Amino acid sequence: MPDMGFDVLLKGKNFLRLLGGLGVALKISLMSVLISIILGTVLGILWHHNNLFIKAVMRSYLEVIRIMPQLVLLFIVYFGTTRSFGWNLSGETASVIVFSLWGTAEMSDLVRGALISISAHQYESAFALGLGKAQVYLYVILPQAIRRLIPLSINLVTRMIKTTSLVLMIGVVEIIKVAQQIIEANRMSSKNAAFGVYLTVFVMYFLACWPISLLARKLEKRWR
Amino acid sequence: MSQVILEISHLHKVFDTVTVIEDLSLTVHEGEVVVIIGPSGCGKSTLLRCINALETIQGGEIKLHGNTVSKNSKDLHEIRQKIGMVFQNYELFPHMTVLDNVMLAPVKAQGRKKSEVREEALALLKRVGLESKADSYPRQLSGGQKQRTAIVRALCMHPEILLFDEVTAALDPQMVREVLEVILDLANAGKTMLVVTHEMQFARAVADRIVFFDDGQIIEQAAPDEFFDHPKTDKAKQFLNTFTFERDRSTTNRA
């Protein structure tokens, strides 16, 4: 059997450290996802209203965020704004800000799309029943929109989790960074550590994202 | 004559540059069934939509029990609760069961007690033969069942007037009857109704008054027998002729 380099994981606290790194990645993603879903929903609803000003602002926001690589955004927020505005941001905070900016933009677009896909007649029949505007959204439109949103937003969430691997570039010690450290530290004793460690990282990412996909499939089935 | 429920005076409705309804006045009394007929695209549906302010109007006034219906009025949703509307395409809420569809507005908009509404909803569903479908979802129903549910949904709000907008137009022929029978039953129960339909025999049976509508204006109105047997205006005569012709052709095609 070839040397796959799994042995390093058994040395000292290496495996636990790797798990800790995964924890950091998940913490950043979950906070960003939470913020993105809330803000994205609110902005998506606002966007859906036919206010030209809001439309223009949202359109530019989305385009800017989409065009810019997440890495550039991270650098701007972490290195750029801290220098220019003189505030102090930890790598993790900067990461959450960037991922929330990105997630909110994408989420609001998804919400807007889901709202548009619901026919005008649904609004009309709800209004015709004498429901107030908030009630129409709360009981009729949003429940339907959310059902349509599930597959799309799950896709976004898993994308966000995966993309947190970029935050090692601003010095956040997350799972990939920990993996690198372990491999570097064992360069002499275990030459093939890269394979085993990164494979473990892969499995960990998979285990983190898979339940989310499962949940989404379950919800989709229940609501069909 | 009994109390006036709905009073439309000098209604004017324009889409962009096209005048759809021009200086229309119409009064509906309590317990009266008024059936509006006329060629497609003459503004019948638009008229109904104006009545509960789904359309803005450019002139005139619509009053329900003396209260002005306007898209800008603050208590619009309260006025709308008194106007029951049934649409051509049912427009049930697909994510709710039949019972929840019926109960939503009475509980949330009118703030009535859930247990009381539930009892009434079930009784109404039973009345239209849908008691076994209370827990079904709209996608599990036939067109006729959906439309009967939509009627119950409107009824459960205790509206002062019911508006029916070509409610059988999207139905298979064999389902038309089950829906029309429900409406006939409501007419017998003394409900005030404004019905837009293309079913001439039904119009004749259910109506207290026929309003013939063309080019955004009321051309003629009369008791049903009088209108169908002795239409006064050329337009009405023409329309009734055309209709028979169209109907014959469509039956042949179907066979």
Percent of chain B at pLDDT exceeding 90: 69
Chain A residue closest in CA terms to B155: A129
Percent of chain A at pLDDT exceeding 90: 42
B161 CB near a chain A CB, below 8 Å? no
pLDDT at B245 over 60: no
Residue A6 pLDDT class (50, 70, 90 cuts): confident
Rounded CA gap, B201 and A104, in Å?
57
- pLDDT given at position A9: 80
Rounded CA gap, A69 and A171, in Å?
18
* Both structure tokens of A152: 């799309």
Q: Which of B51, B91, B101 to mutate to test the interface with A (most CBs of A within 10 A)?
A: B91
Q: Which helix (H) or strand (E) holds B196?
A: strand B193-196
The larger pLDDT score, comparing residue A94 to residue A3, is at A94
| Cβ pairs bridging A and B (under 8 Å) | 62
Rounded CA gap, A204 and A165, in Å?
13
- pLDDT given at position B140: 94
A117 CB near a chain B CB, below 8 Å? no
Here the ipTM equals 0.88
Inter-chain CB proximity A129 and B54 less than 8 Å: no
Identify the CA nearest to A99 among candidates A162, A39, A28, A165: A28
Percent of chain B at pLDDT exceeding 70: 95
In angstroms, what separates the C-alpha of A137 from chain B's closest C-alpha?
12
User: Which pLDDT tens digit goes with each residue over B89-122?
Assistant: 999 999 999 999 999 999 999 999 999 999 999 9
Chain B residue closest in CA terms to A224: B95
User: Which pLDDT tens digit goes with each residue over B195-242?
Assistant: 999 889 899 999 999 999 988 889 999 999 999 999 999 999 988 887
Identify the CA nearest to B50 among candidates B39, B29, B32, B36: B36
State the DSSP string of B8-65.
EEEEEEEETTEEEEEEEEEEEETT-EEEEE-STTSSHHHHHHHHTTSS--SEEEEEET
Neighbours of A48 (CB within 10 A): 22
Rounded CA gap, B194 and B26, in Å?
11
Residue A111 pLDDT class (50, 70, 90 cuts): very high
Residue B11 pLDDT class (50, 70, 90 cuts): very high
A121 CB near a chain B CB, below 8 Å? yes
Rounded CA gap, B11 and B19, in Å?
11
Chain B residue closest in CA terms to A125: B91
pLDDT at B248 over 70: no
Q: Are B195 and B36 in contact (CB under 8 A)?
A: yes
Inter-chain CB proximity A128 and B85 less than 8 Å: yes
- Domain of residue B103 covers 4-254
Q: Are A66 and A127 in contact (CB under 8 A)?
A: no
* Both structure tokens of B197: 């339909």
Considering CB atoms only, which of A122, A129, A223 is closest to B109? A129
A188 CB near a chain B CB, below 8 Å? no
Return the CATH number at B40. Answer: 3.40.50.300
User: Which pLDDT tens digit goes with each residue over A15-42?
Assistant: 888 899 999 999 999 999 999 999 999 9
Q: Which of A123, A124, A125 to mutate to test the interface with B (most CBs of B within 10 A)?
A: A125
A120 CB near a chain B CB, below 8 Å? no
B162 CB near a chain A CB, below 8 Å? no
Percent of chain A at pLDDT exceeding 70: 99
Residues of chain B neighbouring A143 (CB-CB closer than 8 A): 95
Residues of chain A neighbouring B82 (CB-CB closer than 8 A): 130
- pLDDT given at position B179: 92
Residues of chain A neighbouring B89 (CB-CB closer than 8 A): 121
Rounded CA gap, A113 and A82, in Å?
35
Rounded CA gap, A89 and A97, in Å?
10
Helix (H, G, I), strand (E, B) or coil at B147: helix
Q: What angle do CA B65, B192, B87 make, to 5 degrees?
A: 100
pLDDT at A223 over 80: no
Query: How many folded domains does chain B comprise?
Result: 1
Q: Are B150 and B87 in contact (CB under 8 A)?
A: yes
Rounded CA gap, B177 and A40, in Å?
47
Q: Are A129 and B79 in contact (CB under 8 A)?
A: no
Upper half-sphere CA count for residue B112 (Cβ side, 13 Å): 18
Rounded CA gap, A163 and A32, in Å?
12
Upper half-sphere CA count for residue B194 (Cβ side, 13 Å): 29
pLDDT at B2 over 90: no
User: Which pLDDT tens digit goes with each residue over B14-63?
Assistant: 988 888 999 999 999 999 999 999 888 788 889 999 998 999 999 999 99
> In terms of residues, how long is chain B?
255
Identify the CA nearest to B124 among candidates B91, B92, B149: B149
Please name the amino acid found at residue A165: S
Q: Which CATH number fits domain A7-222: 1.25.40.10, 3.90.245.10, 1.10.3720.10, 3.40.630.10?
A: 1.10.3720.10
Inter-chain CB proximity A130 and B85 less than 8 Å: no
Inter-chain CB proximity B52 and A140 less than 8 Å: no
B89 CB near a chain A CB, below 8 Å? yes
Q: Are B53 and B80 in contact (CB under 8 A)?
A: yes
Q: Are B150 and B91 in contact (CB under 8 A)?
A: yes
Q: Which helix (H) or strand (E) holds A40?
A: helix A14-48
pLDDT at A79 over 70: yes
Inter-chain CB proximity B54 and A128 less than 8 Å: yes
Neighbours of A187 (CB within 10 A): 10
Rounded CA gap, B180 and B177, in Å?
5
Considering CB atoms only, which of A122, A131, A147 is closest to B105? A131
Place of tokens 């329309």: B239
Chain centroid to CA B88: 9
- pLDDT given at position B249: 54
Identify the CA nearest to B109 among candidates B143, B130, B84, B133: B84
B91 CB near a chain A CB, below 8 Å? yes
Inter-chain CB proximity A130 and B80 less than 8 Å: yes
Rounded CA gap, A73 and A95, in Å?
9
Inter-chain CB proximity B153 and A129 less than 8 Å: yes
